[in-house]
Structure 1
């Protein structure tokens, strides 16, 4: 019996192609779509600069190998080469920052996007070839470097209290207090998860009797749409959130919103970058450098504080929704080694 012939993307009717494209857009997280768009622009510009040709599907293995090689070396010492000149074009176009060797994680992400584009078209990826797989592994080892944290410092409880002290009783202060406390207390939520919340995602049915709020996340980076569990928010964080809802009169629509200069909540949601802006403003108001921490500091701060308080890792992960024990455990390991009695032998 003959093997089934794979469906060619080009053989689809216009209606089928449009329906499939719409399905991918609705079924893919917005952050992933934005990353795909950036990576596609970069890959297309790189091939045009190096080969003077547009992308083809499926892509040639020699092109894929050249991509791996060009992004596994420091081009500062390779002036006059084709790879150097192509990189300079990408820098001029704002698609590349420098001639330094990109981080292995950056190369892996762009290759993952390129592979995804092939899967969407039901085509084999050139990166599955044995030579490409081996080249990627060697490149990853050759360019290995210490992993940098996503936030310079974790926003632990003491730092958070310092930030909260800058939030006054204005509408903006009430909102920022609720944003920061919810972002920390609910397990260290990501920026997109906070700005994507709607009023319907907040269940206040247990608040009057138990002081408890249930938070529903439509989807997260580690959970599929509709599969994220309800998360509890209690105590001060719950009261801060209810205060914002009542004062801003949020009955429906986006939960967190911009505040006008006149001090009125606007009907639209916060922009994805708003959490960073809020955090920087509160850091500055607290007398701390604006780059003291990033929004990811709320997430790392939650796990770091959980470790400092002796909360079991698995219990903290039920709120943070980390899938990897190894990844979440790094925060616990950092705290544990700092408090290890062996570090005080000289004293």
Structure 2
């Protein structure tokens, strides 16, 4: 690979690259389309999958096809008017409600973290190294993921050498890249030390138990209690979180890695954080992205309605 190819390859995130490759393979191999594609063939492809694939999946497939054509120097057929009209028609005829992860509430976070802390104490007392490092890792991942509102890929890309801890004060994390960092400038993130559910002390305990000096912060642990040299896969965070919730005796329906991010956003919103502060802290670049994670107060709640009813003066019947 030449230097130019190496830099071009690095310009696209690995997850995005895999998604685009899967999109091209689905169009060409599974559906039987030809590349370079025509606008008509792309429109037929959309129509054939309109009832089986979600609109967001179809849009991702179009992005993959568009990228392939740009990379190969061909005109992009996905921008043709017929493709846009077919996609709009699919939205009209097959409307779907966006599925959102259920936010982790602070009470749930307290229960899960408490269960992990208890399990860690028992494992240490028994001398069970594997169980102790598993529980220490999970607790650190849970608390750090919640209080920083991390995405799953951000959690997995954390590196020990890019974390600076000030005991009793907090920690600083340098994140070389993230989804919202379009220019790949990197972000320096502050994590405060807390008196309760502290992500800093949980991180310190995990690093100490695992004896990690450099490399990925969060890693897989095999059946013998040996740590992997590589980072956790981002698609492993959701099942890992659901396992923690189940072990704490709670329901894990509709929980994913986004539940930590949504949980923090809702907690911050309920505790008076303004939108600008929340956006800067979490890393959102536009208000629409932030609002997708925050559950606004229900304007039709019983309390509001009852209050309005109670303040209205009664209307007496006029005499006939």
TM-score over 0.5 (shorter chain):
yes
Q: Does 1:271 align with 2:233?
A: yes
Q: Does 1:33 align with 2:17?
A: yes
| Gapped regions of structure 1 (runs ≥ 5) | 1-14, 49-53, 75-99
Where 1:267 maps in the other structure, the secondary structure is strand
Residue pair 1:218, 1:228 contacting (<8 A) in 2 also: yes
Q: Does 1:281 align with 2:243?
A: yes
**Residues 317, 142 of structure 1: alpha-carbon distance in 2 compared, 3 angstrom cutoff:** same
Q: Does 1:142 align with 2:93?
A: yes
Q: Deviations over 1:202-260 (max 9, x none)?
A: 122xx13x611011112111213642321111121111112212222211111112234
Structure 1 counterpart of 2:290? 328
Where 2:297 maps in the other structure, the secondary structure is helix
Structure 2 counterpart of 1:182? 144
Distance apart, 1:292 and its partner CA: 5.0
Counterparts of 1:116-135 in structure 2 under 5 Å?
116-135=67-86
| Worse overlay, 225-234 or 116-125 | 225-234
Residue pair 1:47, 1:55 contacting (<8 A) in 2 also: no
Structure 2 counterpart of 1:91? none
Distance apart, 1:333 and its partner CA: 4.8
Counterparts of 1:307-322 in structure 2 under 5 Å?
307-322=269-284
Q: Does 1:214 align with 2:172?
A: yes
Structure 2 Cα separation of the partners of residues 44 and 231 of structure 1 = 42
Structure 2 Cα separation of the partners of residues 249 and 290 of structure 1 = 31
Structure 2 counterpart of 1:82? none
Structure 1 counterpart of 2:49? 71
Residue pair 2:112, 2:244 contacting (<8 A) in 1 also: yes
Residue pair 1:307, 1:331 contacting (<8 A) in 2 also: no
Structure 1 Cα separation of the partners of residues 175 and 108 of structure 2 = 26
Structure 1 counterpart of 2:127? none
Structure 2 counterpart of 1:231? 189
Structure 1 counterpart of 2:106? 157
The structure whose residues are more often strand, as a share, is 2
Structure 2 counterpart of 1:9? none
Q: TM-score, structure 2 length as denominator?
A: 0.82
Distance apart, 1:34 and its partner CA: 1.4
Residue pair 1:193, 1:220 contacting (<8 A) in 2 also: yes
| Gapped regions of structure 2 (runs ≥ 5) | 121-131, 311-320
Q: Does 1:42 align with 2:26?
A: yes
Structure 1 Cα separation of the partners of residues 183 and 115 of structure 2 = 36
Give the RMSD, CA atoms, in angstroms. 2.4
Q: 2:263 aligns with which of 297, 301, 306?
A: 301
**Residues 228, 130 of structure 1: alpha-carbon distance in 2 compared, 3 angstrom cutoff:** same
Residue pair 2:40, 2:82 contacting (<8 A) in 1 also: no
Distance apart, 1:281 and its partner CA: 1.8
Structure 2 Cα separation of the partners of residues 66 and 247 of structure 1 = 56
Where 1:335 maps in the other structure, the secondary structure is coil
Structure 1 Cα separation of the partners of residues 162 and 281 of structure 2 = 16
Q: Does 1:23 align with 2:7?
A: yes
Residue pair 2:262, 2:294 contacting (<8 A) in 1 also: no
Residue pair 1:202, 1:213 contacting (<8 A) in 2 also: yes
Structure 1 Cα separation of the partners of residues 152 and 98 of structure 2 = 21
Structure 2 counterpart of 1:248? 210
